[in-house]
Amino acid sequence: MDKIKVGVGMSGGVDSSAAAYLLKMQGYEVIGITMKLIDDEKTDISIKDAKDVCDTLGIKHFVIDLKDEFKNIVINNFIESYKKGITPNPCCVCNKYFKFGLFYEEAKKLGCEYISTGHYAYIDNNKLYRGKVLEKDQSYFLWGINKNIINKVILPLQDYTDKEMVREIARKAGLSVNSKKDSQEVCFVPNDDYKSFLNDNLDVLPKGGDICLKDGTVLGKHNGLMYYTVGQRKGLNISYKEPLYVIKLDTVNNKVIVGSNEELFGRELIAGDINLLVDVIPDKVYAKVRSRGLLKPCTVFINDNKMKVKLLEDERAITLGQSVVLYDEDNRLLGGGIIEEVI
């Protein structure tokens, strides 16, 4: 009887490498597939690491060049968002269109029935849930995937509760990446330096303007809206009788509006580009507006691919361009959208 063929998204890191090993041990026919999304030395090293792991496991390794698609869909969206005073979340876009989109299509071309990644989340009975270890949970970034492929996704790390356990798996399997550090930065932004990246990729640098209070009182000057984000305190270079934070980026008047910490809190937002993984939103719903944020009870109203979310508790620094992600009381991922307006 033929083995079931699974394509593993191999990033060259320990999580995806351990996932490939576990699947092979479970009896699947495993192939490693690495998407080349950018052209730099770090990517070349990751591809080599992925190939070394596949060679150690005795499985085939394929590299798929998707640099043009990645630039058009992810990088350009990142740049355009910042130009508009919006703080994007490129990992959500990448997961939707690449890791669970184009990757799935390419894996099918290679004869795979399933795809797999090293994400920390949980799939049960064709339903996607938060990971068992909430500080490692990555379900927040998965709200945009097509619900029709969830039954084609295997997450081998979903039962592991500690990263050191995963590293130990890689060590015992003889995988060279067992001690490789986790990447905490956006893959295409060198050294996590957003300002330099944006400066290097803009034809025209942004115009400076006023930093002011809501009443119009000017306190200083900014260098361009794209260098600021809601909730920011450091780097404002202004003095005032109390600590001030960015509470709004006024793109119409090119102003950075600052205020007290109390002014950062809100409860209502409107999201667009929504994607639902369920047919009906349950009565009890919880929302997260940032990956490390807490679940807050809420009510949800959906109309014409727009979603109004009313939180029942205050939330700090709700930010345009970030994702609002919905869960039920059992931690099932219900869907999400991109925050377009804070009410």
Residue in the structure block whose two tokens are 């219900």: 334
Determine the pLDDT at residue 132.
Answer: 82
Q: Which of the residues 94, 112, 212, 298 is marked catalytic?
A: 94
Round to whole Å and give the CA distance between 235 and 242. 15
Q: Is 222 left (phi over 0), alpha (psi -120 to 50) or beta?
A: beta
Sorted by where each begins, the domain ranges of the chain are 5-181, 206-259, 264-342
Round to whole Å and give the CA distance between 151 and 168. 29
Q: Which residues pair with 339 in a beta bridge?
A: 271
Residue in the structure block whose two tokens are 């997260």: 288
Round to whole Å and give the CA distance between 33 and 342. 40
Round to whole Å and give the CA distance between 46 and 11. 6
Instruction: Enter the tokens of residue 135.
Output: 């500080």
Residue in the structure block whose two tokens are 């006023």: 210
Determine the pLDDT at residue 1.
Answer: 60
Assign domain 264-342 one CATH number from 2.40.110.10, 3.40.50.150, 2.40.30.10, 3.30.70.890.
Answer: 2.40.30.10
CA triple 78-83-88, angle to 5 deg: 35
pTM: 0.93
Instruction: Enter the tokens of residue 35.
Output: 């998407």
Determine the pLDDT at residue 182.
Answer: 82
Full pLDDT tens readout for the chain, 343 residues: 689 999 999 999 999 999 999 999 999 999 999 999 999 999 999 999 999 999 999 999 999 999 999 999 999 999 999 999 899 999 999 999 999 999 999 999 999 999 999 999 999 999 999 998 777 899 999 999 999 999 999 999 998 878 899 999 999 999 999 989 887 789 999 988 999 999 999 888 899 999 999 999 999 999 999 999 999 999 999 999 999 999 999 999 999 999 999 999 999 999 999 999 999 999 999 999 999 999 999 999 999 889 999 999 999 999 999 999 999 999 999 999 999 999 9
Catalytic residue list contains 187: yes
Catalytic residue list contains 94: yes
Round to whole Å and give the CA distance between 223 and 20. 47
Q: Which of the residues 54, 92, 187, 212 is marked catalytic?
A: 187
Looking at CATH, the fold of the domain delimited by 5-181 is given as Rossmann fold (3.40.50)
- Dump pLDDT digits (tens) for 52-87: 999 999 999 999 999 999 999 999 999 999 999 899
Looking at CATH, the fold of the domain delimited by 206-259 is given as SH3 type barrels. (2.30.30)
Determine the pLDDT at residue 316.
Answer: 96
Determine the pLDDT at residue 251.
Answer: 93
Instruction: Enter the tokens of residue 45.
Output: 């090293």
Round to whole Å and give the CA distance between 142 and 115. 15
